[in-house]
């Protein structure tokens, strides 16, 4: 596939993103909300068009500018491996079904840990069918304390806190 065709495909996927994923994402977000009260300063990494960002009133980042452009809310084009935020800036960090797409999920997880306040919480929804699921799960467990897991069906939702 050529570069122009690739850009066109990304554009079509971006336009259909909410139609394809809204119901599935809202189900995950409802499960999260039932298990933890998310408040304070929230960062949503891999926000897409901002479904979870709007749900939790969060700042959202995503590397796909097409998704950010058609999304709504406080959204910025950026990737989760290179965050510009200060250390310990956020009360909550969410990463809903996007970590398996990171080029370097180790670096991304360490960045999440860095920007999370000591008493903060991290919620990761990880696609179970991902070839990287086992490896990513092990890294999450090494960096964070997992205090709850929910098997959502397609995803495993990890509720984590920092190791202090």
CB 84 within 8 A of CB 61: no
Q: What percent of the chain has pLDDT over 90?
A: 75
pLDDT in tens, 128-138: 999 999 999 99
What pLDDT does residue 25 have? 83
What pLDDT does residue 21 have? 60
What pLDDT does residue 145 have? 98
pLDDT of 120 over the 60 cut:
yes
CB 69 within 8 A of CB 43: no
What pLDDT does residue 34 have? 95
What pLDDT does residue 18 have? 57
pLDDT of 67 over the 60 cut:
yes
pLDDT of 1 over the 50 cut:
no
Cβ neighbors of 121 (< 8 A, separation 6 or more) are 36, 38, 91, 92, 93, 159, 160, 161
What pLDDT does residue 96 have? 94
Q: Which domains does the chain have, with CATH numbers?
A: 3-162 (3.40.50.150)
pLDDT in tens, 48-65: 889 989 999 999 999 989
Name the pLDDT band for 72 (thresholds 50, 70, 90): confident
The closest alpha carbon to 45, from 103, 2, 108, 121, belongs to 108
What pLDDT does residue 164 have? 82
pLDDT in tens, 6-41: 333 444 454 565 565 668 888 999 999 999 999 999
| Distance from C-alpha of 78 to C-alpha of 82, rounded to nearest angstrom | 8
pTM, to two decimals: 0.88
pLDDT of 3 over the 80 cut:
no
């Amino acid at each position: 596939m050529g570069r122009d065709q690739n850009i066109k495909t990304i554009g079509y996927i971006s336009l259909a993103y909410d139609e394809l994923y809204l119901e599935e994402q809202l189900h995950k977000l409802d499960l999260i909300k039932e298990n933890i009260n998310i408040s304070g300063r929230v960062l949503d990494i891999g926000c897409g068009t901002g479904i979870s960002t709007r749900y939790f009133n969060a700042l959202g980042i995503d590397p796909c500018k097409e998704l950010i452009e058609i999304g709504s809310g406080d959204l910025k084009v950026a990737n989760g491996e290179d965050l510009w935020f200060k250390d310990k800036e956020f009360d909550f960090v969410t990463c809903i079904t996007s970590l398996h797409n990171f080029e370097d999920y180790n670096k991304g997880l360490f960045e999440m840990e860095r920007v999370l306040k000591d008493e903060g919480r991290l919620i990761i929804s990880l696609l179970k069918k991902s070839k990287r699921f086992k490896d990513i799960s092990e890294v999450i467990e090494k960096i964070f304390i997992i205090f709850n897991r929910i098997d959502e069906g397609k995803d495993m939702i990890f509720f984590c806190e920092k190791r202090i």
